[in-house]
Structures are given as C-alpha cells and as structure tokens.
Amino acid sequence: MKKTNYRWVIRIVLISIAATMVFTVASSELLDRAGSILALAILILFICIGIVFDMIGAAVMSAQEAPFHSMASHRERGAAEALKLLRNAEKTSSICNDVVGDVTGIVSGATAALVASQLMVTLDTEGILLKLTMSAAVAGLTIGGKAAGKTIALNNSTAIVLRAGKFINFFRIKK
C-alpha cells in the first residue's frame, strides 16, 4: 500500500486555492462588464472547461503507455509530454479532475448566481424561478457533460492524452 504524500496534498491544496482565486477574479472582471448574453457565454465556457479537464483526467487514468512509446520514438509532437502525463497519472488526474474540474464547478455556480442576478435586474423580477432554473441548468449541464465526457475519455483515451500532450508541447519553451 502506498503512503500518503503529504507534501503533494499540501501542494494541491495551495494550487486549488490559487486556481479558485484566478477563476473567481477572471469571472468577476469579465462579468462586471458583460451583458446577459456574454455572461451566459462565460458561464458555458466555465462548464466546458470543467468537462474537458474531467475528460483529460479520466483519459490519463485509463490510457496505456505503450502507444506513446512508439509515438515518442518516431518523434511525434506531444508524445513525450503525453508519457509524462501518464507517468504522473495520479497527480495529473488530481489536477484535472479535482482542481480544475471542481474549481470550475464552484465558480460556475457562483457565476450562475451572478447571471441570475443580472437577469433579474434586466427583467425587473424577483426571480426565484430564474435562480432555480439557472442552478438546475448548471448542475445538469455539468454533471451530464462530465458523464458523457468520461465515456468519451474511456473510449478515446489515447487520442485525448495525445491531444493534451500536443497542447503542452505547443506552449513548451524550445531550447
């Protein structure tokens, strides 16, 4: 049985706090200047980010290393980064699913409340039904999207991990 790595736990807590602060500030800044339609687009963006990262986390946990060894030996762009993701699957999954996935879920809930408040002012209404509809829609889209995403991730884990590796490779500083 593997021991708990307390340094990693402390690190992931700090990363979660930082990510929450970044997402919250970004959404607040964007929503302060946004109309209702743009605010809804920002809300959908947060939901999609959570779903995509959840898919990456699930794909990393289910993908096999063998295809990436072959790709890396042929110098396919992103394959080496994909191998690093797989070799650190526990941490990669934790960051993708728990940090980004959960933080975007929390922030999208707060964003939904702000959007509902904006719409209540725009529509000049009390809006309990609007608040309920917004929170139910966000929960449904997030949960349904993540459920569908996990199925896609399990069936296409190699392709998803390779795309994540290519994305990382794109931003890697070349020597």
pLDDT tens for 81-123 read 999 999 999 999 999 998 898 889 888 888 888 888 877 877 7
136 CA to centre of own chain: 20
pTM attached to this predicted model: 0.85
pLDDT tens for 4-23 read 788 888 888 998 899 888 88
pLDDT tens for 33-52 read 777 788 888 889 999 999 99
Q: What is the dihedral of CA 86, 87, 93, 95, to 10 degrees?
A: -120
> pLDDT band for position 175 (50/70/90)?
low
Q: For the chain, what are the domain ranges?
A: 6-169
Looking at residues 71-79, what average pLDDT do you find?
93
pLDDT at residue 164 greater than cutoff 80: yes
